[in-house]
Amino acid sequence: MACGLALLLVVFPLLDIVWVITVNGLSAFSVKLFTTNTTGASGGLRNAIEGTALITLFAMLIAVPMGIGAGIHLSEYGKNKTGSAIRFLSDVLTGTPSIVLGYFSYIIFIISFGWGFSLAAAAITIAILIVPYLARITELALEQVPNTMREAAYALGATDPTVVFKVILPAASSGVITGALLALAISVGETAPLIYTAGWSNYTWDGRFTHSPVGYLTYVIWTFIDQPDAQSHALAYAAAFLVMLVVLAINIGVRLTVRRTKFV
């Protein structure tokens, strides 16, 4: 009985969060939300939606090759001391609070490199954040490919890249894609590493990677809720709803399709 109550207490806040955000978020929905930019603390969210998409896109473009490459090394050739060390340091990076990464990027990219608040700084920071996830999930996925497949491929005279790209990666593709999707969900929901790297812009992207700040959805959530007027709160809830929708949809989808493997 008590245990059932505990489960209820655990699950209830999630349902309440989803309920509160959905009700308030949906009531703020309109076509304008997607077609107009933010003006001050009102207007639409087009710039923020685009900004979040761009930051996520470029972070993934940087992180996916790095993370999958590192995962290949760890799974295929990294069963030694060096591999363990990389694995340990990768876990340390995963455990590093994201605000520490944001602070690092602010001093390095924004101030020292003189990039200013920018897409490049934001995307690189998020990439650093998600690379270790991608690497470890790729490693786990590749490890589940039976060794007989590797041995068969090598016996046929296949080279390392052929074995990895033609045999192992295809066999483990669902796991790798899962990892990439989870990393994508993380980058959509992050705030702390962006506060001092992305800045904020009321306009859509002008094509510059540096010296041009970008908006993002989580900024709207945490700053506009502090504004006193109702329309700012409505925007904050609408942004929270969008972010939550993406994150939950990805996570539910992933869990429903890859039931057997447990990554997180």
Q: Which of residues 15-34 bind other proteins (CB under 8 A)?
A: 16-17, 20-21, 24
Does the footprint of other proteins cover residue 156 (CB under 8 A)? no
Residue 237 C-beta: closest distance to other proteins, Å: 7
For residue 53, give the 3-state DSSP assignment. helix
Which residue do the tokens 């207007």 mark?
A: 43
Q: How many residues touch other proteins (CB under 8 A)?
A: 108
Does the footprint of other proteins cover residue 95 (CB under 8 A)? yes
Does the footprint of other proteins cover residue 151 (CB under 8 A)? no
Options 76, 175, 180, 197; binder of other proteins; rule CB under 8 A: 76
Residue 148 C-beta: closest distance to other proteins, Å: 21
Locate the DSSP E strands across the chain: 38-39, 42-43
Residue 194 C-beta: closest distance to other proteins, Å: 10
Both tokens of 156, joined, read 């046929």
Contacts with other proteins, 121-150, as mask; x by CB under 8 A: -------x--xx--x---------------
Options 30, 84, 107, 170; binder of other proteins; rule CB under 8 A: 107
Q: Where are the alpha helices (DSSP H) in 106-216?
A: 119-143, 147-155, 160-162, 169-171, 173-189, 192-195
In order, the DSSP letters of 66-83 are HHHHHHHIIIII--SHHH
Q: How far apart are CA 33 and CA 45, in angstroms?
A: 5
Beta strand 38-39 with 42-43 is: antiparallel
User: How many residues in total does the chain contain?
Assistant: 264
**Residue 42 bridge partners (DSSP):** 39
Does the footprint of other proteins cover residue 110 (CB under 8 A)? yes
Residue 20 C-beta: closest distance to other proteins, Å: 6
Contacts with other proteins, 31-50, as mask; x by CB under 8 A: --------xxx---------
Does the footprint of other proteins cover residue 103 (CB under 8 A)? yes
Read off the amino acid at residue 46: R
Q: How far apart are CA 29 and CA 21, in angstroms?
A: 12
DSSP structural state of residue 39: E
Q: In the window 183-222, what residues touch other proteins (CB under 8 A)?
A: 185, 188-192, 195-196, 199-203, 205-209, 212-213, 218, 221-222
Read off the amino acid at residue 257: T
Both tokens of 130, joined, read 């998600």
Q: In the window 223-242, what residues touch other proteins (CB under 8 A)?
A: 223, 225-229, 236-237, 240
Residue 146 C-beta: closest distance to other proteins, Å: 21
Q: How far apart are CA 88 and CA 84, in angstroms?
A: 6
Residue 60 C-beta: closest distance to other proteins, Å: 11
